[in-house]
A and B are shown apart, each in its own frame.
Chain A
Amino acid sequence: MSEALTTTLAKPTLKDKTAVLEGLGDHPAVKAIARWNLEALTDAKFEFGELTLTIAAEKLSVALATLQTAGYNFFEDMTAVDWFPASPRFQLSYQLLSHALKEYVRVRVLLDEADPSVESITPLWPAANFYEREVFDLFGIRFDGHPNLRRILLPDEFTGHPLRKDYPVEGYR
């Protein structure tokens, strides 16, 4: 029986920051970040045909503003991943889209378990408003400077953050 898993992705996988800077130095997002502040770029990878840039948490909104100026004009999605019990525990993934370049880029931020918070990007994209409320609601990550940081999907009196990995799928809390 054949294993028939043929990879269809044309571009090779780039595992770390140095490889991405070498292999994708011409990529508009990589170029913009490199010109702005290479220190803030803590990691990068190119996998499954998608570019992921990991940015230091305190530099997030400046990095996203840099990408916005570089042509990534559309905020498509933002969500979190809980890597419990690993540390840093939380990951925020921002998907940006460029209408002109016809391309996505993912920006990733890692946050510690104790008091996870990051700057709100609603001044850059008002669209992030609901998304940040959703992550606040389901993961308990705070967004400083958000105009209305309240639970969005769950009732206000709800306790706990269901999408955290230490929250059970069934049974009692």
Chain B
Amino acid sequence: MTESAGMPILEAAEGARDQHMVINMGPQHPATHGVLRLVLEIDGEIVVRIYPEIGYLHTGIEKTCEAKFYQQVVPLTDRINYLDPLSNNLCYALAVEKLLGLEIPAKATWMRVLMAELSRLNSHLIWLGTHAMDIGALTVFLYTFREREEILRLFEAVAGQRMMLSYIRIGGLSLEPPLDFLDRVQGFIQTFPEKIDEYANLLTGNPIFRNRLKGVGYLSAADAIALGVTGPPLRASGVDFDLRRDIPYCGYEKFKFAVPVSTDGDCWARYEVRLVEMRESVKIIQQVLDGMPEGPVKADAPKIVLPDREKMKTQMEALIHHFKIVTEGFEVPAGEVYQGIEAGHGQTGYYVVSDGTAKPYRVHMRYPSFATLQALETMCKGRMLADVVAVIGSIDIVLGEIDR
């Protein structure tokens, strides 16, 4: 094997050279959730080392951002973590709004929370379905995708898009939600807790599922912090930290919800934590529906937020602002900000540097899967090769956000 083949660690460990074997897993492998390639050094069936080889989906989004106006970056963010699109929109919008010092109307903030939580449910449903499918429980996949379809229909109702919504924009939302939207969400969350029970009935008591997850992929709290693990895997390792509660953004301090924590640190703990998280998301959505304020969904900043179509056709100034924003963008005060949020997979962060022009000088995205992937070796070392599949499923990675 030559150096250029990208396998430099394949000098086997001291003294064990003859017994160890190096195998390749991915990038085309159904259990790697995308195009992840793992180079595994194994001793029989025991994993000795894992070397993740990433970059197959690298599209240079950070470089592209530097050539776009601030508002043109929003659709790019959708495509990074395509399973949780609204968290990406939200994080970017919050970062730029921090630079602009923009005040967001209450209804827009509440709608953002509602959409972010629906997006989290969407992300967790895909995780549950694919994770169970990797383990061999195919049925759950069909059930979770049934509920996901409901969520996608809700997304379509507000934004006209099912996956790449770009619904959360700088300064608010792109459109008013339709009149029956809140009733439809109410209808969805009324039945959703029963659906979670249904998944739990299929999986929690299932002896195969239990045996494949219990005690597998252990990660201690100290290791989780050292390796940059965030989100559900961090909480499953016993660290009680959730940005929504501890450093609230976007008005999360107004809502009451529990943060599930487990000290077991294994795949089973991650499964349980995410199931409880789905129930807590439903509680947040219910609170949003109960207290949804009235008012506009866009900030009163005509030089930043695109005017309504109606106004554009009747008012001269609105037409001028529309033309200016589309052709010249808007200037953002110079400075640097970092905005972290709790997305479905963990802590997402946008680092935006402005030089005072209409295009961002630098946009860097911190995505949870990128850091969590580093913990894979710690979790799989000394375990069976088949456990690698269970562990990859349990840390819930999306290659789009790793490679960007």
Q: How far is the CA of A128 from the CA of B227 in the complex (A)?
A: 8
A150 within 8 A of B: yes
Known interface pairs A75-B228, A79-B364; A49-B301 also in contact (CB < 8 Å): no
For chain A, residues 131 to 173, give those with C-beta under 8 angstroms from any C-beta of chain B: 131, 138, 148, 150-157, 162-163, 167, 169-170
Main secondary structure of the interface of B (DSSP, over half): mixed
B403 within 8 A of A: yes
Q: How far is the CA of A69 from the CA of B54 in the complex (A)?
A: 33
How big is chain B's contact interface, by range?
35 or more
B13 within 8 A of A: no
Q: What residues on A are CB-neighbors of B300 within 8 Å? A: 2, 4
Contact indicator B364/A127 (Cβ below 8 Å): no
Contact indicator B102/A5 (Cβ below 8 Å): yes
A36 within 8 A of B: no
Query: A-facing mask of B213-240, CB < 8 A → 1, else 0?
Result: 0000000000001111010000000010
Query: A-facing mask of B225-264, CB < 8 A → 1, else 0?
Result: 1111010000000010100001100000000000000000
Contact indicator B340/A4 (Cβ below 8 Å): no
Contact of A50 among B55, B66, B239, B338 (CB under 8 A): B338
For chain A, residues 113 to 140, give those with C-beta under 8 angstroms from any C-beta of chain B: 125-131, 138
How many contacts between A and B, using CB within 8 angstroms? 122
Q: How far is the CA of A74 from the CA of B366 in the complex (A)?
A: 14
B209 within 8 A of A: no
Which A positions have Cβ atoms within 8 angstroms of B?
Answer: 1-2, 4-9, 47-50, 52, 73-77, 79, 81-82, 93, 95, 97, 99, 102-104, 106, 125-131, 138, 148, 150-157, 162-163, 167, 169-170
Which B positions have Cβ atoms within 8 angstroms of A?
Answer: 3-4, 6, 8-9, 54-55, 58, 60, 62-64, 66-67, 98-103, 225-228, 230, 239, 241, 246-247, 299-302, 317, 335-338, 340, 347, 349, 351, 353, 361-362, 364, 366, 370-371, 373-374, 403-404
Q: A48-B98, A76-B228 are in contact. List 13 more A-B contacts (CB 8 A).
A: A6-B101, A6-B103, A8-B103, A47-B335, A48-B99, A50-B338, A74-B225, A76-B340, A81-B336, A97-B340, A127-B374, A153-B55, A169-B67
Q: Which 8 A-B pairs have the closest CB atoms?
A: A127-B228, A77-B366, A7-B101, A153-B55, A79-B364, A153-B58, A169-B67, A4-B300
